[in-house]
Amino acid sequence: MAQGDNGSSKSSSVTPYEEALDALSSLITKRTRVGDVNMEERFNVLYKYLKMLDLEEAISNMKIIHVAGTKGKGSTCTFTESILRNCGFRTGLFTSPHLIDIRERFRLDGVEISEEKFLVYFWWCYDRLKENTDDNVPMPTFFHFLALLAFKIFAAEQVDVSIMEVGLGGKYDATNVVPTPIVCGITSLGYDHMEILGNTLGEIAGEKAGIFKHRIPAFTVPQPDEAMHVLREKASQLNVPLQVVTPLDAKLLNGSRLALGGEHQYINAGLAIALCSTWLKMNGHLEDSYLKHIQHTLPEKFIKGLTTASLQGRAQIVPDQFINDEIPNELVFFLDGAHSPESMEACARWFSLAIKDQDQILFHQKLDNSNFSNQVVKMHNGETVQKKSTQILLFNCMSERNPQLLLPHLMKTCADHGVYFKKALFVPGLSVYHKVGSHALPATDSDVDLSWQLTLQRVWENLMQGNKEGKSNNSAPEELNMEMSASNCEHSAVFSSLPLVLKWLRDTVQQNQSTRFQVLVTGSIHLIGDMLKLVKK
């Protein structure tokens, strides 16, 4: 099908990049993630692909940091990459999922791979696999291909360090073909992907510990006893020196703040410091004596790495450029891809503190010499009136998740901080799961199935009925006009598409100019990506 240079063989209306994405989309299996798939068999086929791509020796020579876990994998990998890049090393970072563009999954020196390089490496791998696969050994699945592509990119680009984030689980994850990483990390464990990884924390921990290799040092963060017991047991079986890392002490940042928001990021930062320190030591860049002091004083390059790291969709604040050109700072999106009960709590804590921070900053701006004065007050008959803030929830989650676990954690944690949502909005994502690339987005939303969103709405309404105090949001406008929604209840509404939600929010801001709207978008990393595509247009 494709030619080795850019694979171009279709009409000129499809760009070479879109053509590559179409080829990639063909690898997305239509079956569900579970079922009769033998994980071990599917994993073992990866070694045949490595042979086809002539990557075996390259991978064994790579200086890899391998990270698994339930929560905080992407953040830990991002901190780790940023620290080592600031220490002067050429870095490769492989993470998942992407939010807007598939190339986000492959970062070279902190920047997503260019379209030109992506196309060269993509077709190099795709064509060789296409030539050598058959009915017995079919083309790799979507994520398996992406992991193989990452190894090819980092080997060809001769990075000093490759930071590889596990996609799912550990033992049978495509990244686990790494024979001898330099160091391994396990982030916070919790209940997620239980349909694949097991129903207990012990079973889940066992899958994650599948990345441990004989005598290779590993680090983890404080874990529930059941999970920690399994991690220690697996480490012992492989003679792995496993150490538990404490969260980073904020004082060590010398007055600066972590680049990624939320208290839980100090746990991830502590793990990243341990991974980087060990990687540096194992490669002859740090003395043992220096390592002993790293808990009490952080090198300047570590601080810079931790305070400048960037990761979209995790505790990200995005003011709406469209509406804020006319009425500055009146519509702000707080985006976090939380999708497990524990990460929902962390997200709710971050949001609750972030909106208070924002309100305080705006209120304390000096009126006489500040561009922000009209964000803080309106003048009515000469009187100064402080703006009211209203919180809106925009939520979707995949149907494998249990909203009865997610939404109560979110609601309760926000309520504990005195934050109540005026309205919860439920909407299906734009993403089509069997396609990648923006040219694959659906053109119409007329036939969208809203049954899952209506289920989410019922869960929320039931929670609100059982939580009467949540009804009172004194700072909210009297009534919001929900004409565009498919289903409007007392505390929530269902919309058939994200563009409709965005239009409704912008219209509502125009109609309530004495109110600042703070919208928490959460529940699904896909929803975050779709929202960013729309808001950043």
Q: How many CB atoms sit inside 10 A of residue 451's CB?
A: 8
Is there a contact between 222 and 69 (Cβ–Cβ < 8 Å)?
no
Is there a contact between 420 and 356 (Cβ–Cβ < 8 Å)?
no
Q: What are residue 65's DSSP bridge partners?
A: 163, 183
Phi (first) and psi of residue 94, to 5 degrees: -115, 120
Alpha-carbon 306 to chain mean position: 17
165 marked as binding residue: yes
Is there a contact between 246 and 64 (Cβ–Cβ < 8 Å)?
no
Q: Can you tell me whether residue 247 is helix, strand or coil?
A: coil
Q: How many CA atoms lie within 13 A of 195 on its CB side?
A: 10
Length of the chain, in residues: 537
42 marked as binding residue: no
> What do you get for the CA distance between the two ends of the chain, in Å?
33
Rounded distance between C-alpha atoms, residue 357 and residue 340, angstroms: 25
380, containing H or E segment: strand 377-380
336 marked as binding residue: yes
Distances (CA, A) of 456 to 204, 396, 415, 439: 27, 8, 19, 29
Rounded distance between C-alpha atoms, residue 393 and residue 423, angstroms: 6
Is there a contact between 270 and 75 (Cβ–Cβ < 8 Å)?
no
Rounded distance between C-alpha atoms, residue 532 and residue 101, angstroms: 11
Q: Which residues are annotated as a binding site?
A: 96, 165, 193, 314, 336
Q: Which residues are annotated as a binding site for Mg(2+)?
A: 96, 165, 193
Q: Which residues are annotated as a binding site for ATP?
A: 314, 336
